Structures are given as structure tokens and as C-alpha cells.
């Protein structure tokens, strides 16, 4: 992403949902209308994507390129989860781009259910985008 961090006015995604995949993983869907999957590749067809996994957090930054009335513009979105319920394996966690969303698969470090934490607290988001 070309612009410096301080100049970017990030917006929050339209929604973030979670689904446990047994006790071994959690699927996180980050809804951003307009995101298009690049055919035959992992990335986006209409912008850029940066995903960083840490042992207890993740940070997803999206630059969505638009063409409005012949003018090229970009919208910037960020989903920064600053504290996950338990540790994940960052090196084994993955992401993929789908129509209108980014889907993360977080592999858990320990096979424990996150259902109680996710139901009561959800994901602890950094709202200071």
C-alpha cells in the first residue's frame, strides 16, 4: 500500500463473523462490499491486501480501488483484532479472497473451544483505525 500509515483514513469493514471449525481452527469472515477475487491467484482483482498474523492477534488492511465517474479513487479498510481468546499458529494460519469478503482461517495453538469467549465477548477489535 503506497500511502504512509498516518495519511490513510481507514474505515471499518461492514461486518466480521466467526465460525469455529471443530477445536482446531476458527474461520473469520471480514465483509467488505466491492472486494473481487483475482482469478487463479490468492490476491484481490481490484486493490491490494495486507494480512499479518501474530500469536494473539491479526491485522488486515485492504485498499479497494474504484473508478467513479472516470476518476480513480481508493477506499481503505482495516480490521485489527488486538486480542484473540487464545493463541494461534501464525505461520499456519491462512487467508483467501472471496466476493465481497476476506476469509481468514486461524489455526489454534491448543485444541480448545473458543465458543464461550466468542459468544460473550466476540473479537476484541482495535477501534482506533
**Cα 60 from Cα 112, distance rounded (Å):** 24
User: Tens digit of pLDDT for each residue in 57-81?
Assistant: 999 999 999 887 888 899 999 999 9
pTM: 0.89
Contacts of 79 (CB under 8 A, 6+ apart): 12, 13, 16, 30, 58, 59, 60, 102, 125
Q: Which helix or strand (DSSP H or E) is residue 116 part of?
A: helix 115-120
Please state, in angstroms and as integers, the Cα–Cα distance from residue 50 to each residue in 73, 78, 102, 112, following that order.
19, 10, 11, 28
- List, for residues 79-98, the tens digit of each pLDDT value: 999 999 999 999 999 999 99
Q: In what order do the strands lie in the sheet with 101-107?
A: 15-21, 25-31, 101-107, 94-98
Residue 1: the pLDDT is 47
Amino acid at each position: 500500500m503506497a500511502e504512509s500509515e498516518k495519511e490513510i483514513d481507514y474505515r471499518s469493514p461492514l461486518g466480521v463473523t466467526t465460525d469455529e471449525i471443530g477445536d482446531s481452527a476458527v474461520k473469520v469472515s471480514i465483509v467488505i462490499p466491492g472486494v473481487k477475487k483475482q482469478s487463479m491467484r490468492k490476491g484481490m482483482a481490484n486493490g491490494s491486501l495486507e494480512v499479518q498474523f501474530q500469536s494473539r492477534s491479526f491485522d488486515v488492511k485492504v485498499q479497494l480501488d474504484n473508478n467513479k465517474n472516470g476518476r480513480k479513487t481508493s477506499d481503505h479498510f482495516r480490521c485489527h483484532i488486538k486480542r484473540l481468546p487464545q493463541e494461534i499458529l501464525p505461520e499456519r494460519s491462512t487467508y483467501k479472497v472471496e466476493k465481497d469478503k476476506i476469509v481468514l482461517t486461524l489455526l489454534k495453538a491448543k485444541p480448545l473451544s473458543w465458543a464461550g469467549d466468542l459468544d460473550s465477548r466476540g473479537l476484541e477489535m482495535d477501534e482506533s483505525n
